[in-house]
Structure formats: C-alpha cells, structure tokens
C-alpha cells in the first residue's frame, strides 16, 4: 500500500470568512430554481455565514427535508429564526464578532444568547440585568431604557468573557471553548449559562442520554425543538421545563427554540451539510480525541460509558461510536435514527452505495484523517483514522481495549488509540470516506 505523510489541519476563522462569499455565490448559481427555501435564502441574503467551506455545492444546495437543519429550518422543516431576528443579527453581527474575537469564541453564541435573553433588543429591561441578563448584575448598573452603540459594545465584551468563563463549569471533556469547539462543548456552555439544573440532567436520562456526560440534552434552554422527543408539541407529557424559580419541571416546555437549535440555524452545527468550524474530517478527529480524553480521565467508564453512543443499548458498539462521531460533526451516515448505525456491515454498505460516503479497498488508496476503517480478521470492526505517517495508520475506536484488541467484550471495553504499522496485516479491508 502506498502511503505518504498526512498532516491534520484545522480551518482558520479568517480563511473561512475570506472565501465565504465565493462559496455562497457558487451555491446560489448552481442551485436549481426552487432548490432552497425562503428561510434559507433569507440567511444568504443577509450574509450570515454558516456553510462549511469544504462542503460540495451539491450537498448544500439540495432541497431541505424534515431531517435537515442548519439552514434555518428545524427537524420538521419549520423556520427557526424569523426574518426580523435574522435582520437584527446581521445588523449587530460586527459587534458580536469583535467581542467574540477578543477571547476566541464563536460569535454566534453571543447572538443566540441575545435572542434568548432580551429578544435582540438594544434596550435594557427594567430588572437591572442588562441586555444579556446578568443575574448578579456584574458590570452594572444597567438603567432601563435604550443603550448607545458604545454601551452595546461594552455589554457584549462582558458577555463574551462571561460565556468563556462559564465553560469552566462544563463536563471535563467540554471545557475547551474556542471558535473550533465541538458541538458538545457549545451545548454544555449554553447549559452552564442557564444554571446547570440537575432536574434537566434527570430529564436527559429519561430520554436515553447519559445524565453525567450529557445533562444539557435535557435542557429546553439548550435543546428545545431539536427533535420530536424534545418538541413540546409532539411530546407534551415527556418534555418539560422549570417555569418558576426553584420549582419542579412542568409540562409541556415552552415554544422557544433552544439556544443550540438557534445556534445551528446560524452555523450549521449538527447538520448534514455544514459545520461549526472546519471540514468534516477535522471535526470527526477532534471529537474522537475529545472522547479518548474523556475515557482516559475517567469521565466515561467501562460498563456504562459506551451507552452514550449506543442509544442506551447493550451491544458491541464500535459502529455506534463512529456513527456518533459523524452525527455530532454534522455529517451523519444516515439521516434517520439520529445518525446511529449499530452494525459494521451497514457502515460498509453505506460507503458502497455511494452518495456522500464512499468505500474503497484499492491498495493505492492513501487513507486520510477522518476515514472509517473497515476491519475483518475473524471479526468485524470499525474505527477512525486520526493520523497517517509512512505505512503507519493511527486510529481511535470504541469497543476496544478489553483484553488488548479490537472487538473486545463491549461491557469491559473503552475508547482507545492504536497505531497499525502494517494495516493490511492487521486486517483493514477498506475505508469509508466522507467525500
């Protein structure tokens, strides 16, 4: 097999912005008439960038479906942000960008919190907590009434630092909040901003999430209307919200879109054709590394931790793990079942079918970080390529490490990292690639 050194890089913020206009121009020119909705076009017209600059025009110009997001449409195809909200965000965007850039966080987080807290108004409410509703009134006083541009910028600087500092309260694996942060870190920080109520951790668990590592999944402030089970209209008795200080969860939750859902409308986080930062491959490798660190630190443990990826099922979970990575990166293997694919054979078939993933078993193929390896040396297994040097391929995979190898007993295994010095001899029979 011919292999060369592969260097993993991340897309920088400046590079993303500098070619944004070309990407959007290309999308609009090649799209057939009627291929994008009015809600999508509104985002384009207002020049609010969110498309992944590495995505193909075909992938991002296709008509939205009920499962599509990141195009200002929710899971059911309804607009997330109104035309008025998008116009206000576009007008305020230079201020958000300037403040976010000072401390390296996504500017869209500030915009979303402005939406959630005071409806994008440039007017302090009467409670003395300012535009971003600082409960402790830090940086005040905030007298009620309109604010000047200078005061708007001052308060936005304060909230940017506040958001950054809040990430310290996140689950250990999610504390690195930067412009290249993972979707999990973004969700967790919104949850910290809202107070990290244990009631929502319980609600997350009731919906099949891990309350210790995914408490934010049960918070309407973060995830309201992310999917059918977290939509008060489709799950009015199982998806609730704390509506009074120190009160219980009451049903149903309100009708406001969650902060991460709104963030996805602006950035494409967690969607099929666009990402929060960098190409799909970079996101997958970053997520795999994050999960490896979570297992190494003891945040996730053998026996239960793997259920984070398997939707709570007790099973061999290597395919659950790689499909979870791609779903979290916003480029799911399938558009149903939250992107979960539990079977190795199905992962391979998805690549063989073509579309947005391709399978290859050519001896001339040079693997790249983000590829899914397909292994079969007496048992089927998959993992993720995170580095290539010479003839050596380094991978991170789930359902590994119990007894020293791939395909380990699922309830004793973990996420581990290996280097295959001779991939063919180790049983790699091909790769599934996201392009």
Q: Are residue 292 and residue 202 in the same domain, yes or no? A: no
Q: How do beta strands 123-124 and 241-242 pair?
A: unpaired
Let me know if residue 212 belongs to a domain. Answer: yes
- Give yes or no: residues 244 and 373 share one domain: no
Residues 196 and 226 in one domain: yes
- To which H or E segment does residue 13 belong? helix 13-18
Flag whether 238 is in a domain: yes
Tell whether 6 is covered by a domain. no
Secondary structure (DSSP) of 255-310? SSPPHHHHHHHHH-TTSSS--SSS-HHHHHHHHHHHHHHHHHHTSS-TTTTTHHHH
* Residue of 280, 279, 244, 285 whose CA lies nearest to 396: 285
Whether residue 286 is found in the same domain as residue 167: no
* Domain residue limits at 384: 280-433
Coil, helix or strand at residue 380: strand
Residues 21, 85 within the same domain: yes
Q: How far apart are CA 321 and CA 400, in angstroms?
A: 11
8 A C-beta contact, residue 155 and residue 134: no
Tokens coding 110: 């500030």
Residues 389 and 245 in one domain: no
Do 110 and 45 belong to one domain? yes
Tokens of 218: 């049960």
Is 126 inside a domain boundary? yes
Q: Is residue 5 a part of any domain in this protein?
A: no
The CA distance from 234 to 215, in Å, is: 21
**CATH number for 406:** 3.90.1720.10
Of the residues 243, 278, 313, the one at which a domain ends:
278
pLDDT at 268: 64
Domain count across the chain: 2
Q: Which of 212, 216, 173, 227 is nearest to 194 (CA)?
A: 216
pLDDT at 246: 86
- Asked if the structure places residue 8 within a domain, the reply is no
The confidence score (pLDDT) of residue 377 equals 61
Secondary structure letter of residue 239 according to DSSP: -
Q: Do 85 and 216 belong to one domain?
A: yes
Alpha carbons 145 and 151: distance in angstroms, whole number: 12
- Per-residue confidence of the chain (435 residues) as pLDDT tens digits? 333 333 233 333 333 333 233 333 332 333 333 344 455 444 444 445 433 323 322 222 222 222 223 468 888 888 999 999 999 999 999 999 999 999 999 999 999 999 999 999 999 999 999 999 999 999 999 999 999 999 999 999 999 999 999 999 999 989 999 987 888 899 999 999 999 999 999 999 999 889 999 999 999 999 999 989 999 999 999 999 999 888 999 999 999 999 999 998 888 654 333 333 346 888 899 889 888 988 988 888 888 889 889 988 889 999 999 999 999 888 899 988 889 999 999 999 999 999 899 999 998 888 999 999 999 865 789 999 999 888 889 999 999 986 444 445 788 899 999 898 876 656 889 999 997
Residue 133: inside a domain? yes
Boundary residue ending a domain (240, 257, 278): 278
Write out 97-120 in H/E/C secondary structure.
HHHHHHHCCCHHHHHHHHHHHHCC
The token pair at 354 is 């073509």
Q: Do 155 and 106 belong to one domain?
A: yes
In a domain, 1, yes or no: no
Give the three-state DSSP class for 399. Answer: strand
The domain boundary residue, chosen from 263, 278, 293: 278
Are 188 and 240 found together in one domain? yes
User: Which residues lie across from 359 on neighbouring strands?
Assistant: 432
Same domain, 245 and 369: no
Q: Which two tokens stand for residue 99?
A: 């403040």
Task: Supply the Cα-derived Rg of the chain in whole angstroms.
Answer: 22
Reference 367, options 383, 385, 381; nearest CA is 385
Residues 181 and 65 in one domain: yes
Q: How far apart are CA 401 and CA 411, in angstroms?
A: 11
Structure tokens at 204: 């997350």
């Amino acid at each position: 097999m011919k292999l060369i050194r592969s260097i993993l890089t991340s897309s920088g913020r400046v590079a993303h912005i500098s070619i944004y206009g070309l990407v959007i121009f290309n999308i609009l020119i090649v799209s057939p008439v009627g291929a994008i909705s009015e809600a999508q076009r509104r985002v384009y017209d207002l020049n609010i960038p969110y498309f992944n600059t590495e995505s193909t025009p075909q992938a991002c110009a296709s008509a939205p479906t009920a499962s599509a997001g990141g195009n200002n449409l929710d899971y059911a195809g309804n607009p997330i942000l109104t035309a008025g909200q998008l116009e206000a965000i576009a007008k305020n965007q230079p201020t958000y960008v300037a403040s976010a850039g000072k401390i390296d966080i996504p500017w869209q987080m500030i915009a979303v919190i402005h939406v959630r807290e005071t409806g994008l108004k440039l007017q302090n409410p009467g409670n003395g907590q300012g535009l971003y509703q600082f409960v402790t009134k830090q940086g005040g006083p905030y007298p009620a009434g309109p604010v000047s541009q200078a005061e708007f910028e001052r308060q936005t600087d304060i909230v940017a630092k506040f958001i950054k500092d809040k990430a310290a309260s996140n689950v250990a694996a999610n504390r690195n909040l930067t412009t290249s942060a993972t979707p999990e870190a973004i969700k967790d920080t919104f949850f910290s901003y809202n107070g990290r109520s244990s009631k929502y951790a319980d609600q997350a668990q009731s919906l099949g999430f891990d309350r210790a590592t995914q408490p934010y999944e049960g918070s309407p402030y973060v995830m309201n209307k992310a999917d059918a089970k977290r939509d008060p209209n489709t799950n009015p008795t199982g998806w609730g919200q704390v509506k009074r200080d120190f009160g219980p969860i009451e049903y149903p939750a309100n009708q406001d879109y969650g902060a991460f859902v709104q963030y996805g409308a602006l950035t494409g986080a967690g969607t099929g054709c666009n990402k929060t930062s960098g190409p799909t491959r970079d996101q997958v490798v970053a997520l795999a590394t994050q999960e490896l660190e979570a297992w190494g630190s003891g945040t996730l443990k053998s026996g239960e931790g793997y259920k984070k990826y398997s939707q709570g099922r007790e099973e061999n979970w290597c395919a659950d793990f790689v499909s979870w990575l791609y779903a979290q990166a916003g480029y799911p293997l399938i558009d149903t079942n939250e992107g979960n694919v539990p079977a190795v054979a199905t992962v391979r078939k998805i690549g063989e079918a073509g579309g947005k993933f391709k399978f290859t078993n050519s001896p001339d193929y040079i693997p790249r970080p983000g590829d899914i390896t397909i292994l079969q040396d007496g048992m089927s297994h998959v993992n993720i390529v995170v580095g290539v040097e010479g003839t050596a391929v380094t991978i991170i995979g789930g359902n590994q490490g119990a007894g020293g190898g791939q395909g380990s007993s699922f309830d004793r295994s973990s996420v581990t990292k290996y280097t295959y010095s001779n991939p063919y001899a180790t049983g790699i029979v091909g790769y599934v690639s996201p392009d």
